[in-house]
């Protein structure tokens, strides 16, 4: 009977923790993690390592034998575990939508085709029930990206622990997202009116895009009498302060979109999606185009492709010397699987440290935040995770600690609450 009441008390306490955890307080004393295997994020692995950080910044990362003395530090023994940089998920609507069937919770797109003035970060919901489930697997930063239309708007890089969107910003308005209109292919022997109309609409859309970019370039150089929010939002593309993320998969679409951006004077171009990137690596390398690769867990794109082509595409890009990062963007809740698509790439050619780089430092370089995050080095943000096992393996990924800018996160979430809730229910039934 005592056991029954104890379980009921546990259940009541779990109900109190079912909400999204409050953001962690600022780091108030130096912390020293010792004894773990350190994965720096740049390919370096240090056994029996130590990481020290204070006021949100890393002050030491290296061998435990050379670590600063523990006087004044909160010393945490993590012997036998692994320390990794916080993982970075690019190109996601996480934080912009919550419940697919409830329109009021969906803030990922605006009406219309051309919306460069849309800013995703102002719609970012720090109270989302989904965010804690993502960081529990090691993902601590997001590139929050609008969708819909041809130019969907501007993304921003956010972290997953904050009271509001202003506190969550890591890099505001990092780039504009252009969803390239795909080439159309006639599958019948003779041209149909519907195909002709679709082709005409595509050509008009490309003409409108070209006109818009030329107007934006002229607007940047002029002194307009009144504000134009759409043209103002595009200005950063021409001086390199903002990236243009081209969303395209087909090889011909990729080449066409890149040449369009270059012709219009865009300084920094990033390919997003990139299913066929492996087919045109020479073109990408010659034009210095980095890739955010989606669809590692996907079926082959063409009937003649290898069945494991999507799995080994990261290795093909690695061999070709392309700067690329991985994105898990096919499912809102699936973002928690970001480390596991990197693990899939390990099974198809990459080393574990190369795979780790695709979801840490490579992505940080592409997004322009590598001076802050991406590796565990002195002077960078103390944004890191501690795992009991290999972070890239779903069988051993067990995050025991996580820090964002030195603030230790509470790693509870709704799914863990539900697990404990029904575990307590059945234990209570067995105790009768």
User: For residue 189, what pLDDT is reported?
Assistant: 56
Total H helices, total E strands in the chain: 12, 16
User: For residue 289, what pLDDT is reported?
Assistant: 98
Mean pLDDT for the chain overall: 90
Judged by DSSP in three states, 396 sits in coil
Give the residues across from 112 on adjacent strands: none
Q: For residue 273, what are its two tokens?
A: 């999606």
Among 407, 416, 385, residue whose Cα is nearest residue 137: 385
- CA–CA dist 20, 126 (Å, integer): 9
336 contact partners, CB below 8 Å, separation of at least 6: 133, 134, 136, 137, 139
| Four-way CATH pick for 21-84: 3.90.79.10, 2.30.40.10, 3.40.1010.20, 3.40.50.2020 | 2.30.40.10
User: For residue 396, what pLDDT is reported?
Assistant: 95
User: For residue 420, what pLDDT is reported?
Assistant: 87
- Architecture of 87-373 per CATH? Alpha-Beta Barrel (3.20)
Every domain of the chain with CATH number 3.20.20.140 lies at: 87-373
- Would you tell me how many other CB atoms lie within 10 Å of the CB of residue 95? 26
Task: Give every residue of the chain whose pLDDT is below 70, as ranges.
Answer: 1-19, 70, 187-191, 223-225, 330-331, 432
Q: Is the dihedral of CA 261, 262, 268, 270 positive or negative?
A: positive
User: For residue 5, what pLDDT is reported?
Assistant: 45
User: For residue 194, what pLDDT is reported?
Assistant: 81
Q: For residue 299, what are its two tokens?
A: 């079926």
Among 21, 20, 23, 32, residue whose Cα is nearest residue 382: 32
User: For residue 428, what pLDDT is reported?
Assistant: 83
Every domain of the chain with CATH number 2.30.40.10 lies at: 21-84
228 contact partners, CB below 8 Å, separation of at least 6: 219
Q: For residue 122, what are its two tokens?
A: 């102002």
Q: Which long-range contacts (CB under 8 A, 24 or more apart) does 282-285 make?
A: 282/320, 283/254, 283/255, 283/258, 284/254, 284/320, 284/322, 285/320, 285/321, 285/322
């Amino acid at each position: 009977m005592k056991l029954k009441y104890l379980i009921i008390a546990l259940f009541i306490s779990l109900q109190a923790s079912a909400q999204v955890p409050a953001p962690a307080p600022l780091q108030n004393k130096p912390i020293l993690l010792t004894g773990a295997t350190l994965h720096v994020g740049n390919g370096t692995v240090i056994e029996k390592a130590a990481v020290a950080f204070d006021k949100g910044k890393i002050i030491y990362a290296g061998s435990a034998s050379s670590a600063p003395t523990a006087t004044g530090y909160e010393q945490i023994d993590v012997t036998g575990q692994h320390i990794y940089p916080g993982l970075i998920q690019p190109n996601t609507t996480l934080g912009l939508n919550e419940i697919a069937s409830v329109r009021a919770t969906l803030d990922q797109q605006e009406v219309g085709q051309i919306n460069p003035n849309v800013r995703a970060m102002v719609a970012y919901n720090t109270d989302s029930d989904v965010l804690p489930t993502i960081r529990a697997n090691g993902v601590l930063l997001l590139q929050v990206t609008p969708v819909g239309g041809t130019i969907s708007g501007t993304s921003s890089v956010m972290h997953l622990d904050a009271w509001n969107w202003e506190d969550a910003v890591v890099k505001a308005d990092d780039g504009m997202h252009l969803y390239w209109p795909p080439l159309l292919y006639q599958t019948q022997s003779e041209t149909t009116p519907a195909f002709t109309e679709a082709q005409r609409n595509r050509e008009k859309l490309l003409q409108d895009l070209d006109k818009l970019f030329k107007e934006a370039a002229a607007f940047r150089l002029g002194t307009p009498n009144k504000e134009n929010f759409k043209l103002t939002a595009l200005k950063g593309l021409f001086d390199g302060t903002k990236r243009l993320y081209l969303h395209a998969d087909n090889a011909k679409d990729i080449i066409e979109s890149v040449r369009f951006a270059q012709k219009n004077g865009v300084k920094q171009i990033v390919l997003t999606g990139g299913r066929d990137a492996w087919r045109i690596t020479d073109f990408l390398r010659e034009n210095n185009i980095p890739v955010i690769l989606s669809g590692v867990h996907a079926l082959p794109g063409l009937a003649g492709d290898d069945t494991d082509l999507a799995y080994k595409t990261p290795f093909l890009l690695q061999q070709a010397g392309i700067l690329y990062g991985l994105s898990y963007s096919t499912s809102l809740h699936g973002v928690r699987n970001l480390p596991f698509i990197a693990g899939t790439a390990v099974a198809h050619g990459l080393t574990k440290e190369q795979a780790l780089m695709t979801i840490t430092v490579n992505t940080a370089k592409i997004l322009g935040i590598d001076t802050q995050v991406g590796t565990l080095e002195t002077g960078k943000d103390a944004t890191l995770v501690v795992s009991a096992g290999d972070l890239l393996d779903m069988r051993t990924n067990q995050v025991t600690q996580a820090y964002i800018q030195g603030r230790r996160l509470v790693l509870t979430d709704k799914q863990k609450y539900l697990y404990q809730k029904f575990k307590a229910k059945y234990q209570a039934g067995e105790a009768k």
